[in-house]
Copies of this chain bind each other. A is one copy, B any other.
Amino acid sequence: MPIAETPQPPYTAVIFTSLRTEGDRGYGRMAARLEERALQEPGFLGIESARDDLGITVSYWADDAAAAAWKRVAEHLVAQQRGRDVWYEDYQVRVATVTRSYGPAGPR
C-alpha cells in the first residue's frame, strides 16, 4: 500500500484504530470489499492502513460531509455492526480536519 496522494489541505481524515479479536471470521473478505466500495464514494481521497498488534486505518475525504455519507452507506453500516459484535475487541474513530501536510514530495 503506498502513501495516499491527497490534495492541498484542508480535507478530512478519519482515523480508525482497532484491536482485533482472534481469528479472521470473514474480516479479510469484508475489509477488501469495503475498501473497493470506498474508492467509488464521492469525495473519497485515499486510504492508508497498517496493522501489527494495533490496527490503524486512515481514510481521507474531501470534507466532513463526504466522510459522514460513507459512514451511512448500507454495506458499511452492516460492517460496522459486525465489527462491534465480532471483529473488534476495542476500537476508536477520530474525525479530524487536516490543516497542514508536508513530506519530501510536498503537501500531498
Q: A15-B13, A90-B104, A90-B105 are in contact. Are A54 and B1 (CB under 8 A)?
A: yes
Docked CA distance A19–B17 (Å): 19
Q: What number of copies of this chain does the assembly contain?
A: 2
- B50 engages A52 (CB within 8 Å): yes
Contacting B at CB under 8 A, from A75-107, are: 84, 90-105
- A3 engages B49 (CB within 8 Å): no
A1 closest partner in B (C-beta): B54
Kindly list chain B residues whose C-beta atoms are within 8 Å of the C-beta of A64: 99
Q: Taking beta carbons and an 8 Å cutoff, which residues of A are in contact with B? A: 1-4, 6, 9, 13, 15, 17-19, 48-56, 58, 64, 84, 90-105, 108
